[in-house]
Structure 1
Amino acid sequence: MRTILLLIIAVLIGGLAVLNWETLSTPSEVNLGLSVIHAPLGVLMLGLTVLLCVLFVAYVLSMQGSVLLEARRHNKEMAAQRELADRAEASRFTELRQVLERQHADGQTAVMVRLAELESHLIARAQESDNSNAAYMGQLEDRMRHADTGPRSVL
């Protein structure tokens, strides 16, 4: 929108200059402060306007160039920061994996120790049960032997 407005103003100034060229190019006395010269005042003013436009365009282009360079530098810094963040995140994932593996190994060791304890308790209980059963069987055998050797009643 601004560009279109500026183009319309430039076309109007150019059209006005073309339509009034004879008036613009009429020589007159121009006071420069220190001296007075004979020159067409309109052409002089038109030349200063063109010079001002050229300087303005150069200023805008230099500003746009500096903004582009700053944006490029900013993008490079952002990419470097993103890379650092990705490395830090990867490092955290690696540390987390090591911690989880260590915890898993510790848990597995604890389970194996507990399983070995339970197995030894189970073996001990099985031996106690076998001993108890053997003792009961021995007592039953003793009773049966005493019952066989003792008096028998006839019915």
Structure 2
Amino acid sequence: MQIRTLFFVIIFGAIGALAALNWEAFNTPTALWLGVATVQAPLGLVMLGLTGALTFYFLVCILYLQSSVMLEARRHAKELQNSRELEASRFSELHRFIEEEIQAVAKQDAEAQSVLLQRLDKLDTGVVSAVEQSGNTLAAYIGELEDRLERGGNTITPNRPV
């Protein structure tokens, strides 16, 4: 129980106990001046009635304030929920965008890899043909040298400095 509620119950109980213990004094009629006329009425009951009316008024004010606070809190909760849903949709949209970008990058990577492999194949073919041509040229030079050796019988001497 909150301290304010406890305080209210204690004061309300004290007023009730005071009225119960002094009921005869509360019921004793007295002349009351109302500003325009004088009336015979029990002052205790009038004051007790006014205290009850004041208590009722404050309870109505408290209920009104509490309900307005609850409605405001509900409105804020709905706004917060809408914000969360909006953020969730933005997050899912960002997730989808990132996935699309990753797929596009993967596709570009695959295309680049394909182009690179084609170039490597062309280079490999070029290197193989260059090696074959070099081999053929070397074989032709060797064949020519053998022919010269067989025809002339000249020995090949290395170049010596003179």
Residue deviations 1:52-108 (CA, integer Å, cap 9, x gap): 111111211121112111111111111111101110111111111112211221122
- Consecutive unaligned residues of structure 2, counting only runs of 5 or more, are 156-162
Give the whole-Å Cα distance in 1 for the aligned partners of 2:134 and 2:62.
105
**Structure 2 partner of 1:107:** 109
User: Which whole-Å CA distance do the structure 2 matches of 1:52 and 1:145 have between them?
Assistant: 136
Q: Percent identity?
A: 31
Amino acid at match of 1:63: L
SS across alignment from 2:142 = helix
SS of 1:119's equivalent in the other structure is helix
Which amino acid in the other structure matches residue 148 of structure 2?
A: H
Bigger mean CA offset, 78-87 vs 100-109:
100-109
Rounded to whole Å, the distance in 2 between the matches of 1:65 and 1:106 is 61
Unaligned ranges ≥5, structure 1: none
Give me the whole-angstrom Cα distance separating, in 2, the residues matched to 1:94 and 1:35.
83
TM-score (norm 1): 0.90
1:54 aligned residue: 56
| Residue matched to 2:160 | none
SS across alignment from 1:30: strand
Give the 3 Å change call, closer, same or farther, for CA 152–42 of structure 1 in structure 2: closer
Structure 2 residue aligned with 1:10: 12
Quick one: which amino acid aligns to residue 142 of structure 1? Answer: E
Alignment partner, residue 27 of structure 2? 25
Return the letter of the residue paired with 2:153. P
- 2:159 aligns to what? none
The total of aligned residue pairs comes to 153
The CA distance in 1 between the partners of 2:153 and 2:53, in whole Å, is 148
Q: Secondary structure at the match of 2:32?
A: strand
CA distance in 1, matches of 2:149, 2:58: 132
Deviations 1:113-133 (A, max 9, x none): 122112212211110111101
String of CA shifts for 1:16-59, please: whole Å, max 9, x gaps.
Answer: 11111111111111111122211001100001101111111121
Runs of 4+ in 1 over 4 A off after TM superposition: none
Partner of 2:139: 137
Q: How does 1:79-90 map to 2 (within 5 A)?
A: 79-90=81-92
Moved more, 105-114 or 122-131: 105-114
